[in-house]
Structure 1
Amino acid sequence: MKSLLKLNTATAKAFFLIGIVNLYCQIGLGQQAPTSLANYFGAIRNGEQSSLPYQLLRQQGLLDDYIRVIDTNLSDSLSTVRKACYQSLDVMQKSSTAPAAKQQILALQLQGMADESPDIVGLSTQNLSSVPPSMFNASQKKTLIQTLDRQVAKKEVLIKMVGTLKDQSAAPALRQLSQPGNSAKVRWAAYLALSRLGDQTAINLVNNKVRGIEVNDDMVYDMAPSIIYTQQKQLYDYLVELLYSNEKNCESANPDQTNTINCAYRILELLAPQIVDFPIATTASGDLQTKSYQEALITAREWFSVHVDFQVKNTD
């Protein structure tokens, strides 16, 4: 009986201690979870908070308040605070549905391109590259094009973003960036951007470049997306040609499958969502909506053999 009593006493003490620990943990978590965006930036300023308050930032009814708070903090002397502002704006831009709010957010995002911190400029460039080109007005396009003359972080991302704007006034700066003296990444991005603008010289250069590359995983995952970016049928024609190859030079996306596969399957995944009236759709993750990739490839080959004058979708 005594031993049972001792056991119960020990168990009770254990539960009491666990309860105390849980209480302190809850208090600690409560301190870490900001109850407002202003509190979040205050915590960042004090070095107490690092994770973004996604749940707060996605509350559509408070966007106007958040925009005002962020606008105030964008002039903070601490780059960590300004960086948190631009990270917050990116979340708000992607979750917002109101056109007016999205434009207000975009105006603040663009300020990051002139920030004194190279890290923030690079972050802003990356975030802005996910904004639909149609959202930028004439003045904002001009700002981005003028930035091409500066040495900025992620310059190649900026160049390709400018290419999507379809603004011919960017062509002279892009041609300058395609010349020797610039890095290989910058020159290639400039040729791709010029191709997207319809520059035939650039299109021919890209065409010659890609046709000289071995078709394997590197080509499929690095070069083929660059061709897709250009939205030029002349370059898409080469990808269509590759659909008729039966060489197995690519690794399967299935980690349990060790055998190599036909690279045409990966290329078809890239092409399918880009072609007008194409008979095979893709899922949100980029997979073909088909029970059999072999059958899908046969269907694609037959379709392209009939539709040699296929049209490329304009996604701008």
Structure 2
Amino acid sequence: MKQVFTRRSATMLLFLAVAFPESLLGQQTSDRLTLYFSEVRAGKNPAIPNEVLKADHAKAVLTALATYQSDTLASVRLKVYTIEHRLGHESKQGAVRQVAVDKLVQGARDKDSGNAGLALDYLTTFGKDDFTAASKDSLRNILRTNPAHIDQVFKLIGFLELADVKETIRPYTLAGNPQAVRWAALVSLARMNDLPAINEVMRRVRKLPVNDDVIYKIFPDLVYTRHTEAIRYMVEVLYSDEKNCLSADAEREEPIPCAYRIMEQLAPIIDGYPLPLDESGDIKTNDYQAALKKVREWFSKHRNYTVLRDRF
């Protein structure tokens, strides 16, 4: 009898999880979620309740959010994407992260352009393993609809290395498309090791002067490509002592070598990087001159360094 009861109980719990996900949230969490979205609908901007963000509630909350994700108010859907991102990004469980990613990919179809863009931005914070085959297929389908944020879709597809859609992207690199779209298509293809694309990217980049504008606007895309030639060029510039950039202190701007910025940009993507990183991937140092010297010496000794490709 005890075994039969246990099986029936398990079956009932499974039924409740599918049919009534809020039943597994706990009454307090469910009430907090309801109250939170009631305030959002009223035009307020409440903080997300801590109860809703608890790790042990993540799966149930993600399921319960489906109702709110189909809400007619864009402001409600926007908050849904934020909660999904928080739950997924902070979870140590792969299954939870995958559910969050699947839901955010759905959000990339949001009829509100701002919401769709936010969902796409959130997706860039996840790793490759967090994208299921279904979520990848959804991104392929979104690409075919020529979405408002097609440049962001290009980059996600490049990051995931969905090489089967390379020829769908390639026409967007041609004249007649907006410059930002052409560039995003090129770097996306470069991320997928497309030789004509990386050649065109580097042809353009090498013609530009190295200064703050290029370091902040162009070099992050070189990092994104993870391509050997692009990273090698960044390391080449890392050795320059020309003071073509400005210090970050707005009240006391001084010319400094752009190498300091490049040192920071390379840190999260090089395996075994010689400087410690904080949780956000930024370097931790109080002596930038010594840090730059250490990085230069490291690259001189490790010419066959490995570029990490598991993150966006």
TM over 0.5: yes
In the alignment, is the contact (CA less than 8 A) between 1:58 and 1:96 conserved in 2?
no
Q: What are the equivalent positions in structure 2 for 1:167-246 lying under 5 Å apart?
A: 167-246=162-241
Give the superposition deviation at 1:239: 0.9
Matched, 1:38 2:34: yes
Q: Which residue of 1 aligns with 2:124?
A: 129
CA deviations on 1:121-153 (whole Å, 9 max, x unpaired) are 222222222222221112211210221222323
Shift of 1:54: 4.6
RMSD of the alignment, in Å? 2.2
Aligned to 2:23: none
TM-score by length of 1: 0.81
- 1:285 positional shift: 5.3
Number of residue-to-residue matches in the alignment:
282
Displacement of 1:48 in angstroms is 4.6
Looking at structure 1, the residues matched to 252 and 237 of structure 2 have their Cα atoms a distance apart, in angstroms, of: 23
Per-residue deviation at 1:315? 2.6
Q: Is 1:82 the equivalent of 2:73?
A: no
Structure with the larger RCO, 1 or 2 (CA within 8 Å, 6+ apart): 2
Distance 1:101 1:272, change over 3 A: closer
**In the aligned structure 2, how far is the partner of 1:206 from the partner of 1:85?**
37
* Structure with max Cα Rg: 1
Instruction: Judge which range, 233-242 or 81-90, deviates more.
Output: 81-90
Do structure 1's residue 70 and structure 2's residue 65 form an aligned pair?
A: yes
Structure 1 SS opposite 2:108: helix
Specify whether residues 78 and 254 from structure 1 end up closer, same or farther in structure 2 by C-alpha distance, changes over 3 A only. closer
**Offset of 1:61 from its aligned partner?**
2.7
8 A Cα contact 1:177 1:190, kept in partner: yes
The residue identity in structure 1 corresponding to 2:247 is S
Partner Cα separation in structure 2 for residue 58 and residue 278 of structure 1: 33
Q: Residues 298, 74 of structure 1: CA spacing in aligned structure 2 closer, same or farther, 3 A cutoff? A: closer
Change (3 A) 1:69 1:38: farther
- Give identity over the alignment, percent: 33
Q: Which residue does 1:280 correspond to in 2?
A: 275
Deviates more, 1:284-293 or 1:271-280: 284-293
**Following TM superposition, by how much is the alpha carbon of 1:35 offset from its aligned partner in structure 2, in angstroms?**
5.3
Q: Distance in 2 between matches of 1:82 and 1:277?
A: 40
Instruction: Report the CA distance between 1:287 and its aligned residue.
Output: 4.8
Distance in 1 separating the partners of 2:83 and 2:100? 10
The letter for the 2-side match of 1:198 is N
1:298 — aligned with what? 293
